[in-house]
Structure 1
Amino acid sequence: MDVNSTNSSLSAIADFRYIGIVIGIVDIILGTMGNILTIVVFSRISNLQSSFNIFIINLAIIDFLTAAFMMPFNVAGYVQMNWPIGGPDSLSASIQAYVYFCCGYTSITCFMLITVNRFISVMFPKHYKSLFSRCGILVGLVSSWLIAPAFLLPVLLDSAGGLPIIGWNQKQFLCTFIHVTGKWRTYMQVLRVLFQFLPIVTMIVLYSLMFWRLKRKWGDENGGLPWEKQSKNGPDAVELMAMNERGVKLNEDEAKEARRQVVERKKLTEKRLLTVSVVICCTFVLLFLPSLIVNLISGSENLDPRVHMVASNITWLNSCVNPFIYVMLNPDFRMEYRIILKYLWLKITCKL
């Protein structure tokens, strides 16, 4: 390749980075604000502090840290086309790559915890409370923060022929894997399979089993899943359900209707939680699948750097999309978001 061709290629890559800069800035703003709002809402409303939502908040925390503290360095690298702290050969570049991958893989571990939580709830409801007791939840949370750093630590501490395995990649303007020949290429692929491929396959299998289970469990009662028919809730039914919960003695027909409404409400709650977790995990699959394919195919190191850049840029959005999912699918979160944002707006405009 001649000098002119090389310069033209570098110029094209330099221009392409503006896409990543825009995505990164959007992620920093929306990811930071959205996940802070989610954490605040969870801490304010006791009714939202269920075991399922604890894992949602665990995901929000790691997404907030990624958006607020990792993404600014990625954007700065794109803007300057160089690592801004100590230069491309500094230890700080390797540490940035290590922490960034830890955040990404820890987020994926959180997705798996959410999936397992829903799977146990649907498939083995009798064991749910014992498995997700305070102790069980604490073990899950701590494990989710330790697994990824433990698997990634060797690539930070070791080297490939005296060269760092992770650090500043000048072709991609990003801190990532740089020297992955021999055993380290194999180890990198193991990490990709363990933290990207297997979670994708596992989630597809587990959610398929959950939907099959719910279809079988509720099919005879409703002629399908509970969300396939409109609820018969009305003022009388709601009052009967409330009376039943207060222990008021009802006649046989009223008690039967109240019990039916309690069961239906439980089903609809289960549907909402399952829908939220399915959408979150499907979003994860869509965002991480391009990166997985690009990095696992043979000869990926010879691909145009822009292919790696766009695959990486897509994964950046992972830390900002989940709050929008909560807004769309969870009315409790949606209402609290609205209250907090309205309060902040009134404060900013000096109307409060």
Structure 2
Amino acid sequence: MDENQTEANVTGVAVDMELSEAWKWFLIVVLVVLIIMGTLGNFLTIYVIARHKELQTVTNAFIFNLAVTDLLVSVFVDGFNVVGIADTGFFFRSPAVCEFVGTVCVTSCICSIMTMMLIAINRYFYVTDKPRHDRLFTTPRLVAIIIALWLYSFSLFDLPLLVGWARHW
């Protein structure tokens, strides 16, 4: 078996991965460019909303949260994907890292999707019933909604894994 090939046994299923050196480098370069763009874009979104009081609106709180979820994916998940491509056996030798990356990925992705849903609900009430929107989306409720969103996103998939009720594979 050459250095670009990894064989591992995951719950009785043999996994055989082989990447050509050129394909490996192409994927790494593409991912690094996406990591830089995603990290910069999401960081700037977070910075601008946090820095300018007039941008701290209900909708932008959801946009801020969406940028945080995307930043976690850009930095942690995509960063470890580069490591996994460079060293195809890395995650098989480092199951704790694999679990951590999976936890960050799933939590962030669920939170991202749910945040987009909340943006749609928020916009619906803003357009159809502005007084009700203003009653529903107060600052304390907004903070509680975002905290509940993260707790829900974590507990939906990741909590059973961490307490041993389930396995990724």
CA distance in 1, matches of 2:116, 2:26: 27
| Residue aligning to 1:21 | 28
| Residue aligning to 1:115 | 120
Does residue 81 (structure 1) correspond to residue 102 (structure 2)? The answer is no
CA distance in 1, matches of 2:84, 2:98: 10
- Rate the CA distance shift 1:63–1:124 in 2: closer, same or farther, 3 A: same
Q: CA deviation at 1:19?
A: 5.2
Equivalent pair of 1:32/1:67 in contact (CA under 8 Å)? yes
Gaps of 5+ in 1: 1-8, 167-178, 180-352
Equivalent pair of 2:42/2:68 in contact (CA under 8 Å)? yes
Equivalent pair of 2:32/2:82 in contact (CA under 8 Å)? yes
**Which one has the largest radius of gyration?**
1
Equivalent in 100, 105, 110 of residue 105 of structure 2: 100
1:1-352 to 2 correspondences below 5 Å: 10-11=17-18, 14-15=19-20, 18=25, 20-83=27-90, 87-88=93-94, 90-152=95-157, 153-158=159-164, 165-166=167-168, 179=169
Q: CA deviation at 1:82?
A: 1.9
CA distance in 1, matches of 2:165, 2:77: 23
Q: What residue identity is the alignment partner of 1:157?
A: V
CA distance in 2, matches of 1:159, 1:144: 22
1:122-152 CA distances to partner (integer Å, 9 max, x unpaired)? 1222201110011221121111211111011
For the aligned residue pairs, the C-alpha RMSD in angstroms reads 2.4
Equivalent pair of 1:38/1:60 in contact (CA under 8 Å)? yes
Aligned length: 152
CA distance in 2, matches of 1:83, 1:157: 24
Equivalent pair of 1:21/1:79 in contact (CA under 8 Å)? yes
Equivalent pair of 1:66/1:100 in contact (CA under 8 Å)? yes
Q: CA deviation at 1:18?
A: 4.9
Give the % identical residues. 30
Q: What residue identity is the alignment partner of 2:44?
A: L
1:239-286 CA distances to partner (integer Å, 9 max, x unpaired)? xxxxxxxxxxxxxxxxxxxxxxxxxxxxxxxxxxxxxxxxxxxxxxxx
CA distance in 2, matches of 1:10, 1:76: 15
CA distance in 2, matches of 1:159, 1:132: 36
Q: CA deviation at 1:159?
A: 6.0
| Residue aligning to 2:5 | none
CA distance in 1, matches of 2:156, 2:109: 13
1:73-123 CA distances to partner (integer Å, 9 max, x unpaired)? 111011111226x815x3332222122211111111111111111111112
Equivalent pair of 1:102/1:148 in contact (CA under 8 Å)? yes
Gaps of 5+ in 2: 1-15
- Rate the CA distance shift 1:65–1:126 in 2: closer, same or farther, 3 A: same
4+ runs deviating over 6 angstroms = none
Classify the secondary structure of the residue corresponding to 2:135.
helix
Q: CA deviation at 1:42?
A: 1.2
CA distance in 1, matches of 2:139, 2:147: 12
Q: TM-score, normalised by structure 2?
A: 0.78
